[in-house]
A = this chain, B = another copy of it.
Amino acid sequence: MNGPNFEKYELIPVIAQDDETGVVLMLAYMNEVAYQETLSTKRVCYYSRSRQKLWRKGEESGNVQELKSIYFDCDADTILVKVVQVGGAACHEGYQSCFFRKIDPESKSVSVEGERVFDPSQVYGKK
């Protein structure tokens, strides 16, 4: 296998992991253009499914992701990027990781884990 199989899958899910701490930061998607741009710029570029265009992560917030290494899985249908998350927060809600909501398997209640790195209203502006 030579890489993720964009011939079979137009969009491939991408797991972003903090290169130093191993914290899983987020999951997003790449099309082949985003993938090639990520390799050539060494800055992570996704494809936004909602906006239907390339999403250069951090373009607005400044919280870019510098690519340290990139992997694909045994089925060639998922990508893993290890990154340096500039600004310390990957999540638009201001948390380091988008996975800050934890579910208790017994009670099914949800609790927040981790603290806000930034206040979203300061970064993105109030509407």
* Interface, chain A (partner B; CB < 8 A): 1-3, 13, 15, 17, 21-24, 26-27, 38-40, 42, 67, 69-75, 78, 80, 91-93, 95, 98-103, 105, 108, 110, 113
Contacts of A105 in B (CB 8 A): 38-40, 42, 67, 70
Known contacts: A15-B24, A23-B22, A24-B15. The answer to whether A39 contacts B70 by CB under 8 A is: no
Q: Give the one of A24, A74, A105 with max B CB within 10 A.
A: A74
Q: Can you tell how many copies of this chain the complex includes?
A: 2
Given contacts A1-B110, A74-B93, 14 further A-B contacts (CB under 8 A): A2-B110, A17-B24, A24-B24, A24-B80, A39-B103, A40-B105, A42-B105, A69-B102, A71-B102, A72-B99, A74-B91, A74-B98, A74-B100, A80-B99
